[in-house]
């Protein structure tokens, strides 16, 4: 299945969860916010939230700023 992550298309195995995606990208789930189809996920949901074909994800985190 295909998803869009931060504007880039990616192919994921069916049944993948958000945490699978984060692991694949080597991102620490503690510091990344995941917005899936416009809704912000809670951290405990990362393990269980199944990605669906065509899902649009935004992965966001803090950066330097004033």
Partner 1 sequence: MLTIAGRTFGSRLFGGTGKFASPAVMREALAASGSEMVTVALRRVDLADPADDIMQVLDRDRYLLLPNTSGARDAREAIRLAHLARAAGNTEWLKLEVTPDPRTLLPDPVETLAATEILVKEGFIVLPYMNADPILALRLQDAGAAAVMPLGAPIGTNQGIVTGFQVRIIIDQARVPVVVDAGLGAPSHAALAMEMGADAVLVNTAIAVAGDPVRMARAFAKAVEAGREAYEAGLGEARTEAEPSSPRTGLDFLR
The site for partner 1 (CB under 8 A) is made up of 5-8, 25-28, 31-33, 35, 40-42, 58-66
Measured distance CA(26)–CA(47) in Å, rounded? 15
Q: How far is the CB of 50 from partner 1 (least distance, A)?
A: 19
Q: Which of 30, 4, 6, 3 is nearest to 19 (CA)?
A: 30
CB neighbourhood size of 30 (10 A): 7
45: three-class secondary structure by DSSP: helix
Q: How far is the CB of 5 from partner 1 (least distance, A)?
A: 7
Q: How far is the CB of 65 from partner 1 (least distance, A)?
A: 3
14/66 with CB nearer partner 1: 66
């Amino acid at each position: 299945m295909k998803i869009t992550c931060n504007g880039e298309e990616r192919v994921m195995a069916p049944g993948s969860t958000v945490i699978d995606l984060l692991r694949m990208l080597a991102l620490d789930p503690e510091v990344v916010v995941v917005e899936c189809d416009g809704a912000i996920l809670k951290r405990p949901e990362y393990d269980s939230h199944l990605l669906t074909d065509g899902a649009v994800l935004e992965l966001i985190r803090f950066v330097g700023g004033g």
